[in-house]
């Protein structure tokens, strides 16, 4: 896309330095734990050591004797106000604090309110709880067996642990196509639980002003407006009305999906503040964050594609068991309990597909939120990209050739997939070919053949993913009934500077910069002259928040639409000032001029001033606009990644030697920020591919519950990412842009897994589940007799 | 316990519990909130500050251990209205996103660059291996270190 604005204006395409950075590099950000209010109290939480147990007694006497401890809040306390249970985003129910039993290790059992952080912690340690252990169900397949202990005894009619069955696609046609296929392969794939582990944990400061009856909550939330409505709906019966609730989402230290849900800690802090009339701070520690906050993934997938002998993919059948923990607290659009998993036909033009998913309860924390991924797309991409490789190898085809043969072709867009999605635009072969050139694919193949002859283990893996982001069109997308539009409100001041507010909330994505650039592009006002605000529900327009790579597709589009409304009014004012007909005016960013008389012109700043000082009679003063943008479709970013790994035959360690990522997110707003998103996304793709997993032993003890054993990659493990892009604009987005924040997280794990399997294929290895840890590989090497001495 | 500390060149006295963590002294008593807390096991490095010039993770140091010593935090990097080259480089190279790990990265970098005038990429990656970043993938942090090293060298010449 050619630049339309000068660096001074910094519209789209400029690598403008970020407006948020001056405060962050000085340590002057405002994160929730930085807030200290007079008289503030602190909350600490007592958590269960058992994964499933009856609570027989909670004794608070010793805790209350700790100096500074004011109260111990239990499920019984909250039950007096009917606040001990709350609804989840998927209309299931979740305990705030238990009155009967706990359902997972580290579940909240009681909360201690004290005058200091340390006193609260002392109090929590002094609360005595008696438990009676109950049988624990960890394996979701066993949870479905007849005779398995029924976990949700709170649901009167519940006789098993099955939550829901969901299926999509044409089952009969798919079965037929697979029966008629020349070649089929079948593979079980487990995509384990992972945790986003943003470096800032979750927390809040709740302050109920008893005089004005107004609740203000500063909280780590990616969706402040939806949270306000949820609070009003859940706590309306205790007098919290929506106009008396203000949610402020301050600077957020990373979100990645983990800061979408409402966690019990928030609700307890709010309840404590309402009861005491004092500000109450709750900040979880890292172990609480890893052990109790919502998890992502945990999908047990069985996939079976069919193909013709000539390498044409014909069909895909997928069955999945989804482990949701003890409640379905997924953050999905209501209509899609398995998220957008049915984008699992990926980048390929196959005619028949069917996918079914069964949700299951186990004794684990609630799962099913994102890990920097748009509603289960990582699961979908991992499956189709692993299966594409398996099928290519099975057919004796090069995985790149196999992909090129089966890609949806550029001329097929808009493309209706077998599972009903309408892909907006793409050039999949373009991205793959660029990646192959950049990495030197043919040369690497030769090197691999030489190395293999010498006994060295080198693998090359491809992932050609299609993302689906920007939820979403109101026809299909809502959360708890709230349609998934997003918003922008712009006010141009008399001196030509502006403020714009949005319904989204940045957690590091750089919205203050990119939104300003969109407005600079559309209005010609320099981006530095436009202040961007988000996250305060008292001032910002309503929106559904930032997750699932939706900010550019929804709120970014709203910015363009609102700016164009301003441009329309500006044209009328310019016509008035220039005494010309509106139709005779020509717009270029920042100025209207009279057709054929370019010296007769008015700048946007002059027009803004006139809007308050010299507006035409009969026109309202001011220069403002708002847009609530309902996207006509999702956007479908895509890319091709190629990864080269070397495997140490002595230790089983996988080393990513090179990784080339070619991404296409349509028109680019800020190339520096887009590249930064790709770098970060790739690292969060590397992490679950090789290092991260939250697992449980047979009695539900969490493994990986601290940074000691939950291995977030450091700079040493992380390779030097090589990036590039192609540009295929979205035809329906006002700026031709698509989301980009999660592409790399979604696409990277399959490239790494495919490279590892490629390195071991000649030994007979067909699949390795992620994370591909040294012990897993070491065992494979030992079993295949190729362990180095 | 009554302690005296110097922080970013300013002397302070405080009456602290012996168990008070240094990070809580800095954030909650002295109200310098640029130093962040990201874990409680010394892994993430968000709380890195300098104690007598050496980087320490202030979540696992007691405040009393800083008695009569010199603490430097991110707020001390800017001198007389002039940013440190590392701060400039983080902005120029897009070495930060959410900003939460940034103060710790900067303090580790400040101490590292003082001792390593021309570090290799590998040296830098090892130097920051005790500081986790979830946003940037480290690529641009490494670049920022390199750019700051070049700048510091030029300034010294």
- Distance of residue B118 Cα from the nearest chain A Cα, in angstroms: 18
DSSP bridge partners of B57: B48
- Show Cβ contacts of residue A210 under 8 Å, excluding neighbours closer than 6 positions: A277
Q: Which of A24, A286, A507 sits opposite B38 (nearest CB)?
A: A286
The phi-psi region of residue A62 (left if phi > 0; otherwise alpha if psi is between -120 and 50; otherwise beta) is alpha
* Residue A234: per-residue pLDDT: 87
Average pLDDT, chain A: 97
Q: Is the minimum CB–CB distance between B74 and chain A shorter than 8 Å? A: yes
Tell whether B64 and B95 lie within a shared domain: no
Distance between CA B99 and CA B134 in Å, rounded? 10
Enter the tokens of residue A199: 């470096």
Distance between CA A84 and CA A101 in Å, rounded? 12
User: Where is the domain boundary, B25, B50, B76?
Assistant: B76
A373 catalytic per annotation: yes
* Residue A471: per-residue pLDDT: 95
User: Where is the domain boundary, B76, B96, B114?
Assistant: B76
Enter the tokens of residue A720: 């030097």
Distance between CA B91 and CA B128 in Å, rounded? 18
Distance between CA A500 and CA A512 in Å, rounded? 10
* DSSP-derived pairing of the beta strands A352-360 and A313-323: parallel
* Residue B94: per-residue pLDDT: 98
Tell whether B69 and B24 lie within a shared domain: yes
Domains identified in chain B, total number: 2
Nearest residue of A to residue B97 by CA position?
A508
* Extended beta strands in B44-129, E state: 48-51, 54-57, 70-72
- CA nearest to A563, candidates A473, A471, A633, A629: A629
Residues of chain B in contact with residue A681, where contact means CB-CB under 8 angstroms, are 137
Nearest residue of B to residue A710 by CA position?
B43
* Residue A333: per-residue pLDDT: 94
Interface of B with A in 50-69 (CB under 8 A): none
Yes or no: say if A673 and B94 are a contact pair by the CB < 8 Å rule.
Answer: yes
A433 catalytic per annotation: no
* Residue B55: per-residue pLDDT: 98
**Options A284, A379, A512, A742, the catalytic residue:** A742
- Show Cβ contacts of residue A485 under 8 Å, excluding neighbours closer than 6 positions: A474, A543, A544, A554, A558, A628, A629, A630, A631
Over residues B82-87, the mean pLDDT reads: 98
Enter the tokens of residue B138: 């480290």
Cα dihedral A744, A747, A749, A752 in deg (nearest 10): -100
Enter the tokens of residue A669: 């707003």
Tell whether B25 and B69 lie within a shared domain: yes
* DSSP-derived pairing of the beta strands A695-696 and A654-664: unpaired
Tell whether B45 and B65 lie within a shared domain: yes
The DSSP line for A454-483 is HT-EEEEEEEEEE--BS---TTT-EETTEE
Tell whether B67 and B113 lie within a shared domain: no
Tell whether B89 and B140 lie within a shared domain: yes
Residues of chain B in contact with residue A28, where contact means CB-CB under 8 angstroms, are 34
A507 catalytic per annotation: no
Selected residue of A253, A287, A673, A721 to mutate for chain B interface (largest B Cβ count, 10 A): A253
Place of tokens 């230290």: A253
Quick: pLDDT tens for A513-540.
999 999 999 999 999 999 999 999 999 9
Asked if B19 and A118 come within 8 Å (Cβ–Cβ), the reply is yes
Tell whether B66 and B41 lie within a shared domain: yes
Tell whether B69 and B101 lie within a shared domain: no
Tell whether B92 and B62 lie within a shared domain: no
Tell whether B16 and B50 lie within a shared domain: yes
- Distance of residue B121 Cα from the nearest chain A Cα, in angstroms: 10
- Show Cβ contacts of residue A415 under 8 Å, excluding neighbours closer than 6 positions: A349, A408, A422, A423, A426
Nearest residue of B to residue A509 by CA position?
B97
- Show Cβ contacts of residue B139 under 8 Å, excluding neighbours closer than 6 positions: A679, A720, A721
- Distance of residue A285 Cα from the nearest chain B Cα, in angstroms: 6
Enter the tokens of residue B47: 């709380």
- Return the percent helix, strand and coil in chain B, to nearest 5: 40, 15, 40
Residue B157 pLDDT > 80, yes or no?
no
Selected residue of B48, B99, B121, B148 to mutate for chain A interface (largest A Cβ count, 10 A): B99
Nearest residue of A to residue B37 by CA position?
A200
**Options A94, A105, A222, A675, the catalytic residue:** A222
Quick: pLDDT tens for A653-679.
999 999 999 999 999 999 999 999 999
User: What is the end-to-end Cα distance of chain B in Å, rounded?
Assistant: 46
Over residues B64-92, the mean pLDDT reads: 98
Distance between CA A103 and CA A108 in Å, rounded? 10
Residues of chain A in contact with residue B141, where contact means CB-CB under 8 angstroms, are 715
- CA nearest to B32, candidates B7, B2, B61: B7
Place of tokens 């998934």: A484
Tell whether B104 and B43 lie within a shared domain: no
Tell whether B6 and B69 lie within a shared domain: yes
* Structural domains for chain A: 21-28+486-629 (3.30.365.10), 32-134+202-283 (3.90.1170.50), 295-409+424-471+633-783 (3.30.365.10)
Over residues B66-83, the mean pLDDT reads: 98
Asked if B75 and A286 come within 8 Å (Cβ–Cβ), the reply is no
Asked if B91 and A681 come within 8 Å (Cβ–Cβ), the reply is no
- Distance of residue B73 Cα from the nearest chain A Cα, in angstroms: 9
Q: Which of A27, A508, A509 sits opposite B103 (nearest CB)?
A: A27
- Distance of residue B114 Cα from the nearest chain A Cα, in angstroms: 19
Asked if B140 and A679 come within 8 Å (Cβ–Cβ), the reply is yes
* Residue A229: per-residue pLDDT: 96
Residues of chain A in contact with residue B103, where contact means CB-CB under 8 angstroms, are 27
Distance between CA A468 and CA A424 in Å, rounded? 10
- Show Cβ contacts of residue A542 under 8 Å, excluding neighbours closer than 6 positions: A225, A487, A503, A628
Residues of chain A with pLDDT under 70: none
Distance between CA A616 and CA A765 in Å, rounded? 76
Helix, strand or coil, per DSSP, at residue A533: strand
Helix, strand or coil, per DSSP, at residue A633: coil
Asked if A715 and B92 come within 8 Å (Cβ–Cβ), the reply is no
Place of tokens 């582990």: A197
* Residue A497: per-residue pLDDT: 98
Distance between CA A746 and CA A383 in Å, rounded? 11
Q: Give the CA distances from residue A447 to residues A440, A443, A581, A654, in Å, rounded to whole numbers and listed in that order.
A: 11, 6, 69, 18
Over residues B2-21, the mean pLDDT reads: 97
Reported pTM: 0.98
Q: Which of A26, A716, A718 sits opposite B34 (nearest CB)?
A: A26
- Distance of residue B23 Cα from the nearest chain A Cα, in angstroms: 12
Number of H helices and E strands in chain A, helices first, is: 19, 36
- Show Cβ contacts of residue B75 under 8 Å, excluding neighbours closer than 6 positions: A26, A27, B8, B32, B34
List the Cα angle A700/A706/A707 in 5-degree steps: 145
- Distance of residue B68 Cα from the nearest chain A Cα, in angstroms: 24
Quick: pLDDT tens for A19-73.
999 999 999 999 999 999 999 999 999 999 999 999 999 999 999 999 999 999 9
Q: Which of B17, B34, B36 sits opposite A28 (nearest CB)?
A: B34
Selected residue of A199, A372, A528 to mutate for chain B interface (largest B Cβ count, 10 A): A199
Quick: pLDDT tens for B107-153.
999 999 999 999 999 999 999 999 999 999 999 999 999 999 999 99
* DSSP annotation of A582: G
Residues of chain B in contact with residue A285, where contact means CB-CB under 8 angstroms, are 39-40
Give the number of other CB atoms < 10 A from CB of residue A420. 12
Yes or no: say if A526 and A9 are a contact pair by the CB < 8 Å rule.
Answer: yes
Yes or no: say if A143 and A360 are a contact pair by the CB < 8 Å rule.
Answer: yes
User: Where is the domain boundary, B26, B56, B76?
Assistant: B76
Distance between CA A84 and CA B155 in Å, rounded? 62
Asked if A707 and B43 come within 8 Å (Cβ–Cβ), the reply is yes
* DSSP-derived pairing of the beta strands A654-664 and A722-725: parallel
Between B154 and A35, the higher pLDDT residue: A35
User: What is the end-to-end Cα distance of chain A in Å, rounded?
Assistant: 55
Q: Which of A17, A253, A721 sits opposite B92 (nearest CB)?
A: A17
B5-14 exposure pattern, b = at least 16 Cβ within 10 A, e = fewer:
bebbeeeeeb
Neighbour-count burial of A433, counting CB atoms closer than 10 A to its CB (0-12 exposed, 13-18 middle, 19+ buried): middle
Residues of chain B in contact with residue A27, where contact means CB-CB under 8 angstroms, are 32-35, 73-75, 103
**Options A373, A488, A643, A665, the catalytic residue:** A373
Yes or no: say if A750 and A465 are a contact pair by the CB < 8 Å rule.
Answer: yes
Cα dihedral A429, A432, A433, A436 in deg (nearest 10): -160
Element (H, E) at A175: helix A171-180
CATH code for the domain of B116? 1.10.150.120
* Residue A150: per-residue pLDDT: 98
Q: How many CA atoms lie within 13 A of A528 on its CB side?
A: 9
Enter the tokens of residue A340: 């957008």
Helix, strand or coil, per DSSP, at residue A732: coil
* Residue A92: per-residue pLDDT: 96
CATH code for the domain of B50? 3.10.20.30
- Structural domain that includes position B121: 85-156
**Options A228, A246, A372, A376, the catalytic residue:** A372
Enter the tokens of residue A617: 């009679």
A742 catalytic per annotation: yes
- Show Cβ contacts of residue B16 under 8 Å, excluding neighbours closer than 6 positions: B1, B3, B25, B29, B63, B64
């Amino acid at each position: 896309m050619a630049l339309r604005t000068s660096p001074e204006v910094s519209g789209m395409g400029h690598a403008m330095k970020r407006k948020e950075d001056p405060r962050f590099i000085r340590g002057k950000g405002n994160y929730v734990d930085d807030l200290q209010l007079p008289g503030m109290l602190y909350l600490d939480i007592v958590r269960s050591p058992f994964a499933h147990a009856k609570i027989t007694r909670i004794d608070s006497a010793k805790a209350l004797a700790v100096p500074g401890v004011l109260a111990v809040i239990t499920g019984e306390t909250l039950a007096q106000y009917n606040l001990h249970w709350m609804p989840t985003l998927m209309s299931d129910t979740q305990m705030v604090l238990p009155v009967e039993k706990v359902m997972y290790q580290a579940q909240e059992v009681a909360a201690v309110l004290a005058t200091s952080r340390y006193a609260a912690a002392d109090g929590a340690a002094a609360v005595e709880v008696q438990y009676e252990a109950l049988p624990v169900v960890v394996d979701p397949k066993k949870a479905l067996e007849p005779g398995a202990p029924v976990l949700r005894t709170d649901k009167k009619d519940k006789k098993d642990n099955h939550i829901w069955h969901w299926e999509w696609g044409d089952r009969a046609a798919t079965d037929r196509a697979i029966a008629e296929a020349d070649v089929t392969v079948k593979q079980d794939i487990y995509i384990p639980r992972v945790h986003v582990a943003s470096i800032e944990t979750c927390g809040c400061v709740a302050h109920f002003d008893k005089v004005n009856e107004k609740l203000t909550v500063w909280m780590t939330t990616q969706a402040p407006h939806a949270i306000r409505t949820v609070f009003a709906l859940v706590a309306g019966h205790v007098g919290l009305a929506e106009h008396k609730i203000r949610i402020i989402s301050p600077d957020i230290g990373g979100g990645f999906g983990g800061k979408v849900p409402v966690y019990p800690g928030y609700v307890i802090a709010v309840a404590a503040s309402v009861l005491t009339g004092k500000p109450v701070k709750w900040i979880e520690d890292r172990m609480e964050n890893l052990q109790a906050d919502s998890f992502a993934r945990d999908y047990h997938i069985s996939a079976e594609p069919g193909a013709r002998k000539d390498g044409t993919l014909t069909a895909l059948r997928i069955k999945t068991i989804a482990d949701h923990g003890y409640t379905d607290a997924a953050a999905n659009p209501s209509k899609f309990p398995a998220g957008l998993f049915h984008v699992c036909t990926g980048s390929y033009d196959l005619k028949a597909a069917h996918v079914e998913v069964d949700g299951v309860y186990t004794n684990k924390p609630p799962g099913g939120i994102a890990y920097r991924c748009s509603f289960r797309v990582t699961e979908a991409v991992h499956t189709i990209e692993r299966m594409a490789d398996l099928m290519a190898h099975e057919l004796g085809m090069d995985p790149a050739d196999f992909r090129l043969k089966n890609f949806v072709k550029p001329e097929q867009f808009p493309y209706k997939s077998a599972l009903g999605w309408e892909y907006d635009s793409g050039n999949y072969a373009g991205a793959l070919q660029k990646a192959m050139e950049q990495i030197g694919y043919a040369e690497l193949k030769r090197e691999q053949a030489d190395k293999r002859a010498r006994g060295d283990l080198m693998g090359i893996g491809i992932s050609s993913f299609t993302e689906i982001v920007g939820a979403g069109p109101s026809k299909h997308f809502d959360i708890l009934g709230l349609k998934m539009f997003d918003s922008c409100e712009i006010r141009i001041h008399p001196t030509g500077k502006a403020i714009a507010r949005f319904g989204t909330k940045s957690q590091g994505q750089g919205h203050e910069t990119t939104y300003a650039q969109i407005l600079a592009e559309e209005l010609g006002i320099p981006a530095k002259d436009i202040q961007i605000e988000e996250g305060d529900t008292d001032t910002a327009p309503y929106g559904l928040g930032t997750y699932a790579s939706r900010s550019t597709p929804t709120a970014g589009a709203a910015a363009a639409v609102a700016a164009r409304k301003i441009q329309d009014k500006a044209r009328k004012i310019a016509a008035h000032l220039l005494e010309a007909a509106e139709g005779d005016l020509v717009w270029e960013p920042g100025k209207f001029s009279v057709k054929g008389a370019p010296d007769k012109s008015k700048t946007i700043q002059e027009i803004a001033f006139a809007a308050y000082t010299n507006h035409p009679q009969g026109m309202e003063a001011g220069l403002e606009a708002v847009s609530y943008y309902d996207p006509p479709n999702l956007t479908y970013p895509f890319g091709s990644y190629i990864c080269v790994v070397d495997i140490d035959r002595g230790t089983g360690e996988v080393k990513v030697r090179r990784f080339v990522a070619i991404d296409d997110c349509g028109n680019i707003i800020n190339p520096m920020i887009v590249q930064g998103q790709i770098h970060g996304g790739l690292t969060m793709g590397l992490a679950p591919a090789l290092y991260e997993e939250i697992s449980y032993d047979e009695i539900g003890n969490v493994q990986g519950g601290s940074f000691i054993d939950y291995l977030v990659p450091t700079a040493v493990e992380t390779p030097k990412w090589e990036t590039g892009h192609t540009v295929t604009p979205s035809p329906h987005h006002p700026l031709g842009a698509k989301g980009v924040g999660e592409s790399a997280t979604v696409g990277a794990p399959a490239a790494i897994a495919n490279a590892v399997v490629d390195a071991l294929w000649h030994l007979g290895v067909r699949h390795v589940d992620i994370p591909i840890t040294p012990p897993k590989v070491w065992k494979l090497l030992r079993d295949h007799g190729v362990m180095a001495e | 316990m009554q302690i005296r500390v110097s922080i970013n060149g300013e002397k302070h006295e405080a009456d602290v519990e012996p168990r008070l963590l240094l990070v809580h002294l800095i954030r909650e008593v002295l109200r310098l909130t640029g130093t962040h807390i990201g874990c409680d096991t010394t892994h993430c490095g968000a709380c890195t500050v300098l104690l007598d010039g050496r980087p320490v993770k202030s979540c696992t140091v007691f405040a009393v251990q800083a008695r009569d010593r010199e603490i430097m935090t991110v707020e001390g990097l800017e001198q007389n209205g002039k940013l440190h080259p590392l701060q400039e480089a983080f902005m120029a190279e897009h070495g930060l996103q959410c900003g939460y790990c940034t103060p710790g990265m900067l303090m580790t970098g400040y101490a590292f660059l003082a001792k390593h005038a021309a570090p290799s990429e590998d040296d830098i990656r090892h130097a920051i291996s005790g500081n986790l970043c979830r946003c940037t993938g480290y690529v641009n942090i490494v670049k920022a270190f390199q750019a700051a090293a070049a700048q510091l060298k030029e300034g010294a010449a």
